[in-house]
Amino acid sequence: MNINEIIKNKEIKLTTARVALLEIFKEAKKPLSYDDIKSDISMDKATFYRNIAKFEEQSILNSFESNDKKRYFELKLAPHAHFVCVRCNKIECLSDLDIKLDGYLVNTVIVNGKCKDCI
């Protein structure tokens, strides 16, 4: 997946900051919050959220709020579920949990419980 092509196909202005931000999400193995990546980007919080809003508007990113009241973001690839531990707030992608509902388009499903480390 080429980040430059994704941005050009969505007709969004190509900036170094946007490419860098999407590269971080591309390399991530799980959804990330602003706090997870703020030290890896050279933009302030307002600029980060303006870019995130643009990416969500153009269906490049998905987001959800977790138990810790933070918003988490990931590239919008294939719809899948997320497991959120109610004790340690660890988030895992559950690619093997396939939920389909007739007549609905499911973007994400959040499953809450205790992770293997907290049981």
- pLDDT tens for each residue of 27-71: 999 999 999 999 999 999 999 999 999 999 999 999 999 989 999
Residue 96 in domain: yes
pTM value is 0.87
Burial (CB count within 10 angstroms: exposed 0-12, middle 13-18, buried 19+), residue 109: middle
Residue 118 in domain: no
Nearest in space to 60 (alpha carbons), one of 1, 5, 10: 10
* Structural domain total, the chain: 1
- Which residue range(s) make up the domain with 15? 3-113
8-state DSSP, 105: -
* Three-state DSSP class for residue 96: coil
pLDDT over 80 (residue 99): no
What CATH number has the domain bearing residue 100? Answer: 1.10.10.10
Q: Which residues pair with 110 in a beta bridge?
A: 82
Residue 99 in domain: yes
- Mean pLDDT (the chain) is 91
